[in-house]
Amino acid sequence: MDVEKKRAHEVKTVDEMIRLYCRGNHHEREEGADLCPSCKELADYARLRTEKCPRMAEKTFCSQCPIHCYKKDMEAKIVDVMRYSGPRLMLRHPAMTIYHAYCTFCGKAANS
């Protein structure tokens, strides 16, 4: 998988996890909005960090990267999102979850 496809896949995965978290925690969303303002801010921040990641070709996922580029407050928010959404993602997107687990546990980068 080339770096841009890998980047797009990571953005898609994180976006879906944030969506699950936002819906499951009854955050107030404006009518027609997919996310509450706080979760939208986190999704935009995560997307920006992924787009600017200099180690995308080598790393598996952000959680296993030696460089932690998230600000502390955003890192705390994304950890909450991952803890909540991780188990629920299996039911909503089993293929995405299996792929993520494979890459995480085997230590394989998505492009290798």
- pLDDT tens readout for residues 30-79: 787 889 999 999 999 999 998 888 887 777 677 667 777 889 999 999 99
Q: Indicate whether 76 belongs to any domain.
A: yes
Q: Is the pTM of this model over 0.85?
A: no
Q: Indicate whether 93 belongs to any domain.
A: yes
Q: Indicate whether 66 belongs to any domain.
A: yes
Kindly state the tokens that stand for 91. 């039911």
Give the pLDDT band of residue 98 (cuts 50, 70, 90).
confident
Q: Domain residues for 49?
A: 3-106
Kindly state the tokens that stand for 101. 């687990």
Dihedral sign for Cα 11, 16, 20, 23, please. Answer: positive
Q: Indicate whether 14 belongs to any domain.
A: yes
Kindly state the tokens that stand for 52. 């600017």
Q: Indicate whether 39 belongs to any domain.
A: yes
Q: Indicate whether 61 belongs to any domain.
A: yes
Number of domains in the chain: 1
> Rounded to whole angstroms, how far apart are CA atoms 49 and 43?
10
Q: Indicate whether 111 belongs to any domain.
A: no
Q: Indicate whether 112 belongs to any domain.
A: no
What are φ and ψ of residue 60, in 5° steps? Answer: -85, -70
